[in-house]
A and B are shown apart, each in its own frame.
Chain A
Amino acid sequence: MNLKNYNKTERELLSKIKREIDRPINFMEVCGTHTVAISSFGIRQAMDKRLKLLSGPGCPVCVTPEEDIDLAISLAKQKDVIIVTFGDMMRVPGSNSSLERERANGRDIRVVYSPLAGLKLAQVERQKKVVFLGVGFETTAPTIAACIILARKNKIDNFFVLPLFKIIPPALRKICQAPQLKIDGFILPGHVSTIIGSKPYEFLVSDFHKPCAIAGFLALDILEGIYLLLRQLKTSPKVEIQYRRSVRPEGNIQAQKIMAEVFQVTDSVWRGIGLIEKSGLLFQSEYQNFDARQHFDLPPIKTKTNLACRCGDVLLGLITPFDCKLFAKTCNPEHPVGPCMVSSEGACQAYYKYEYRQ
């Protein structure tokens, strides 16, 4: 095949990028959708090898710790409970089991594509308690908050949410503080930034002098994001919005308001990273009756961690999936050991699917 025919704009941008690279550089793409896009567009193969693109903690399933999966499983075992969840959660291994395995054992666990479907189910199954697993970032939290407001308005008292939400900027602060990390710039998430805007990232520039670009999800968007970062390295760091067709500096104010109405910020444990201050969401006191943690009497969770699994290091950009000893040996999409191999947005699955060849 003749390469001359290939997309001119993208190839031109690629050569412009190559001209800017004069030393080893590490950029982190924070969002899982970016990770998949980089792998599937073949950006890494086309890139100068001195520029490394490392995946960050931007896949919601991947950063959910084992104890939260165990908690969800213990909820599924309660009498008259229906667990509703996004599909990616089903196969994530907890200490001893997964939701998929529990469903096979007869627990009532259903996959939905929107929290509203869970609310509708609660309206039909009045005698059951419907618990939605609240996993996600600033992208999903507003829709779930809207759902909760609706549940309160319609006086639905058998719908609950297990709040496992995470928010992105505090995790980035943690990454910048890690001494072993050498990240020269961040490709920031397009979807999350559509909600929160560009301002919450300003500290990356003021406190850590890191170049930042909020990018879209096409090959051209990502390449342009990389180019902006390289230019900033030579001039001065700032938070630039490449993904202008979706992101405004102030973000989506309406979504932010709904989120603040229902949730408050709390400390949260991230898989592989540990506790990060003010990086999670909890119900505001007037919405506490929707909190599954408050409503159910849950046993204390004893978590067993698979020590060989290095998803934590992958999430921090310390290693690439190829560096993990389990990768493509005991861990593959059919039999995943860690969450990064389970989720379609996980770095390990993206590398396995698009970059690995036996």
Chain B
Amino acid sequence: MHRLIKEMFLKYFSNPVLARLGDSAEITKPKNRIAFTTDGYVVQPIFFPGGDIGKLAVCGTINDLAVSGASPKYLAVSFIIQEGFPFVHLEKICQSMAKTAKEAKVKIVAGDTKVIENREAQTGQQKNGAEIYIITTGIGIYPPFMKDYSLGVEKIKPNDLVLINGGIGEHETAIILAREEFEFKAEVKSDCAPLNQLISDLLLICPRIRFMRDPTRGGLATTLNEIVESTNLGIIIDEQAIIIKPAVKGICELLGFDPLYLANEGKVVIITARTEGEKLLARMRKDKLGKEAKIIGEVVKKPKGVWVRTKLGSLRPLLMLEGQQFPRIC
């Protein structure tokens, strides 16, 4: 275990706080409020086009902090690894975590590893080989200009605009394809990316963004529904403004999936006052993670709930996802 820590974690995650190898990471108390969050990652397969479980674990927690308006600073990482998990895979995952953290200017300052028994392998029932799970916990610090301001759904007002930084459904489509349960191939990469830089740039030019959320599991449809649920307002999104890459669309048509419900890992939904919309959009489009940013809809007093303005100009409701999406037969 000592070897593992030295050869793997210290090597890739090296920074002065971690190098002390204390029982806790010691960090200096920041002047401003902090944000604190945790999430577990169990994605299968662990490697997929556009990322891997390590990159996902770093980005996921960074993005959760970032959408609350905080600037992510520190991560703690906990690995749960089944015995027999290949060392080379672990190394690849650590490299990718280190690279992503560096890119996002976040330090991995604490960690833990547990190796657990692999009962399935002993009884010959294992389908995918030994598994790995990663839990990341993060601390972010709010910028000084957010001293007296928190983003929140209660800030949302009728006539606000809804923005997103690009196309939807790419992460889940990449995962579906990487599982190789289908006989077809397509070039779809997960959009998995740390959004903190983009978001902090947006907050600098528009410190009073009303609300942000990353539309991960359940996709854009679920996120928008969560937003309106506690506001008593409605959101109308414009079907024609939503970007769905042809490959994502094609896979969805084949399997009978709705891309509005597919998970994203590098997208942020932003709700802002109408007057700030164009300014934010222009800034987003300058960032490599926001080139295809769009204003996709607006907040309305009535009708309540989430609605899609279709190509034909009619309105249809967009509900929360009920259960898992199953591929259709024909």
Contact = CB atoms under 8 A, between A and B. Distances in A.
- Residue among A11, A33, A357 with the most chain B CB within 10 A? A357
A29 interface: no
B305 interface: yes
A345 interface: yes
B330 A191 contact: yes
B311 A7 contact: yes
Which secondary structure dominates where chain B touches chain A? loop
B294 to A, nearest CB: 13
Given A116-B183, A332-B322, A333-B323, A345 B328 contact: yes
Nearest to A355: B316
Interface stretch (A85-93, A177-185, A256-264, A269-277): A85-93
Nearest to A37: B253
Interface in A1-26: 1, 3, 5-7, 10-11, 14
A352 B311 CA distance: 20
Interface residues of B, number: 33
Nearest to B303: A357
A39 B327 contact: no
Contact of B312 (A11, A88, A345): A11
A42 B310 contact: yes
B314 interface: yes
A357 B183 contact: no
Interface string A36-60: 1001111111100000000000001
A32 B328 CA distance: 10
A33 B316 CA distance: 17
Given A40-B258, A113-B183, A61 B312 contact: no
Contact of A355 (B317, B328, B330): B317
A222 to B, nearest CB: 10
Nearest to B317: A357
13 contacts: A5-B240, A6-B240, A7-B311, A7-B312, A36-B256, A46-B314, A88-B329, A113-B181, A136-B330, A219-B310, A345-B329, A345-B330, A357-B305
Interface of B: 181-183, 236, 238, 240, 253, 255-258, 298, 303, 305, 308-317, 319, 322-323, 325-330
In the A-B complex, the 9 residue pairs with the smallest Cβ-Cβ separation, listed nearest first, are: A87-B326, A42-B314, A42-B310, A333-B322, A45-B314, A139-B330, A46-B314, A46-B312, A357-B317
